[in-house]
Structure 1
Amino acid sequence: MGKVKGKSGPLARRPDNSAFKQQRLPAWSPMLTANTVLPFFYFMASICMLLGVWLLLTVQSTQEIKLDYTLLFQGDVFFYYGLKNFHQNLRRYMDSRDDGQMVGRKRNLKNPSSYCSPFTKDQNGLPIAPCGAVANSIFNDSFSLTYHDSRGSVKVPLLRGGITWYTDKNVKFRNPKTDNLTLAQVFEGTARPLYWHKPVYELDPLDPTNNGFINDDLIVWMREAAFPNFKKLYGVLYRADEPFTKGLPAGNYSIGISYNFPVQYFRGRKEVVLTTLTWFGGQNHFLPIAYLVTSSLILLIAVILTVFWWKFGKNGKNMEQ
């Protein structure tokens, strides 16, 4: 039998002479003309404008009241607290937390990683739980809302639990396994953060299931905001009893504020926000304005292209080569 000589030399790596390897497969190359491109631009401009107007009208249908209480005011649904000029998005601030500790890992509970430095241990050498600058700076003002009518004063019922996401309490935040121990026994041998007045297992004395790392207020605060001006959910109106079954009735209200969170050090301001929600969320104008701006830009480009086409390229003679 004869031997087949292998390929060698400059032709050794040449692809096979096939339709696939030589790129001779049939292909569709669309011809971009004014008759196809300009209608698409006008169509996209119309769609973006309609979406922008629709979202803007939806956002405007929400009702929102903001009250700045940095200096306590006097005189005369979703309850938010807001902070201004508070930068939760600083890298060192965000990196100071130990996510391993917040999901209940016992090796991180009493031996937090270096991420928590300098909030790893207290002055007595006890490990801090939860550690880090984020937890240490938790917002701790408290509020009460009272409705006044001809019959007297009624405290507005606010649901303080259930204000977090499902993934928060089941994935991102979990308490250590108790193994038939109480939560206080599990956290025995740890210290509270420097600026806290009570340990993590006593954050909610009224609801034992809302303590530890799965406390709603702690979880909401630990979800860092992207911008220096932000608001976070404090409570939701409980609409089971009169006169709040249909929301907050018109009338006079007073807000009681326990003023604990200092803001003068970073020139910040504090406010409370009462707002309603739609399917789109709260009163946020960013997306509607973005759609309207995009629509305007697309429409402007379409008009410019139309003028050029009408003036220079309508008969197509300038396309001849």
Structure 2
Amino acid sequence: MEEGRSTASAIEADSVSLSQRRSNFIYQFTQQSLPACKPVLSPVWVVSVFFVVGVIFIPVGIGCLHASRSVVEIAYRYDVECIPAPFRGNKLAYIANDFIPKNCTKHLKVPRSMKAPIYVYYQLDNYYQNHRRYVKSRSDRQLLHGLEYPDIGLCTPEDVINGLPVVPCGLVAWSMFNDTFSFFRGVHELNVNRKNIAWKSDRDHKFGKHVFPFNFQNGSLIGGARLDPNIPLSDQEDLIVWMRTSALPSFRKLYGRIEEDLDADDTISVKLLNNYNTYSFSGSKKIVLSTSSWLGGHNNFLGIAYLSIGSSFIFVAFLFLMLHIQNPRSYVDTSNISWNWKHISD
């Protein structure tokens, strides 16, 4: 019995102690008297910090720039040259006419040795995938559950065709990129691996493994690529890559990977189908072949940013050092500053 009373008393004492600490903290917070670090920045300390940061940033920038420069990239714009000469004055008539062959062959020269894997991208410019009406015209719930999810009102105007729902619905899926590429080195065709080009999280959690395309591209106006109705959406990685919309008007999306090395001065023949309509909005299309480094693809921005910031910090450090030498700081006794006072009880 006494043991129970002692336990209850201990719990009550702990509760009172916790309440007192909380009240004390609130009082110190409202009175702005909480313990805090209040450093006095001396010139030596400031110059040292600027110099150390600069010394760290410059080697990092050099490393990033070297990694970016080691990437071999070939980018080729084909949307203009792949139009037959008689139609170059009316590009829309060419792209809208299904009876005109869209086949095109171009030749790319490899400037430096490219080690596998070689990533194949298509690049679209002046294409605003971040437009509000475009981005909202989709149903993530339908992509995961298919016809089991009937609420597809946000997908308008590509929600229902001939009285039947569309899977996948919306303008994003409807406008999917549909140019195709084949690569040859001499007479040897280079295999393009188109598996695992989408994010694993998207394949596993955002696109249903038992959801199949239904009534897709059956309207009077065809937007882009067609989908195989016998393959679930989780396995149609071209669609998954396309559905991850870009925030910028110029973007690249992964098409596949060439898993063979290419030698310097090799000539690669690209046989493509120029199907996708970028002519109605003055867009452009490019095909890009690129290797990668530990930093990713070719991008000098990060290296230049580190070098610029590091150089600026070192310059500021030397500037402050010269000013300090020319006008040295007079040190005063800081023992009388209020935060250095000792408590009366001490």
One-letter code aligned to 1:102: L
Aligned to 1:90: 131
Q: Which of these residues, 236, 245, 262, is aligned with residue 277 of structure 2?
A: 262
**Cα 1:127–1:24, aligned 2, differ >3 Å: closer, same or farther?**
closer
**Cα 1:193–1:93, aligned 2, differ >3 Å: closer, same or farther?**
farther
Q: Which of these residues, 248, 255, 274, is aligned with residue 234 of structure 1?
A: 255
> Residues 207-286 of structure 1 correspond to what in structure 2 (within 5 A)?
211-238=232-259, 244=260, 247-250=261-264, 251-286=266-301
TM-fit CA distance, 1:20? 8.7
Kindly indicate whether the alpha-carbon contact (under 8 Å) linking 1:84 and 1:228 is maintained by their aligned counterparts in 2. Answer: yes
TM-fit CA distance, 1:106? 3.9
Kindly indicate whether the alpha-carbon contact (under 8 Å) linking 2:43 and 2:324 is maintained by their aligned counterparts in 1. Answer: yes
Aligned to 1:3: none
1:260-317 CA distance string (max 9 Å, x none): 0011111111111111011111112222222223224433433443343333344447
Q: Which of these residues, 293, 296, 300, is aligned with residue 308 of structure 2?
A: 293
Q: Which of these residues, 119, 130, 134, is aligned with residue 78 of structure 1?
A: 119
One-letter code aligned to 1:264: Y
Report whether the alignment pairs 1:30 with 2:69: no
**Cα 1:308–1:257, aligned 2, differ >3 Å: closer, same or farther?**
same
Aligned to 2:217: 192
Distance 1:311 1:221 in 2: 61
What 5-or-longer segments of structure 1 have no aligned partner? 1-14, 178-182, 203-207, 239-243
Aligned to 1:46: 55
Kindly indicate whether the alpha-carbon contact (under 8 Å) linking 1:102 and 1:175 is maintained by their aligned counterparts in 2. Answer: no
Could you say what secondary structure the match of 1:236 adopts?
strand
One-letter code aligned to 1:147: R
> Residues 80-229 of structure 1 correspond to what in structure 2 (within 5 A)?
80-108=121-149, 111-122=150-161, 124-148=162-186, 153-176=187-210, 183=212, 190-192=215-217, 194=219, 195=222, 200-202=227-229, 211-229=232-250
TM-fit CA distance, 1:213? 4.7
Distance 2:134 2:22 in 1: 59
1:65-114 CA distance string (max 9 Å, x none): 11110123666311111111111122221111111111225432xx2432
Kindly indicate whether the alpha-carbon contact (under 8 Å) linking 2:50 and 2:314 is maintained by their aligned counterparts in 1. Answer: yes
Kindly indicate whether the alpha-carbon contact (under 8 Å) linking 1:131 and 1:193 is maintained by their aligned counterparts in 2. Answer: no
TM-fit CA distance, 1:176? 3.5
**Cα 1:91–1:305, aligned 2, differ >3 Å: closer, same or farther?**
farther
TM-fit CA distance, 1:197? 7.4
Kindly indicate whether the alpha-carbon contact (under 8 Å) linking 1:49 and 1:292 is maintained by their aligned counterparts in 2. Answer: yes
Distance 1:104 1:18 in 2: 54
Distance 2:209 2:223 in 1: 19
Could you say what secondary structure the match of 2:257 adopts?
strand
RMSD between aligned alpha carbons? Answer: 3.2
TM-score, with structure 1 as normaliser: 0.76
Kindly indicate whether the alpha-carbon contact (under 8 Å) linking 2:210 and 2:232 is maintained by their aligned counterparts in 1. Answer: no
One-letter code aligned to 2:185: Y
The answer to which of 75-84 and 19-28 deviates more is 19-28
> Residues 306-317 of structure 1 correspond to what in structure 2 (within 5 A)?
306-316=321-331
Could you say what secondary structure the match of 2:160 adopts?
coil
One-letter code aligned to 1:310: I
What 5-or-longer segments of structure 2 have no aligned partner? 1-20, 83-104, 108-117, 338-346
State the identity %.
Answer: 32
Alignment: residue pair count: 279
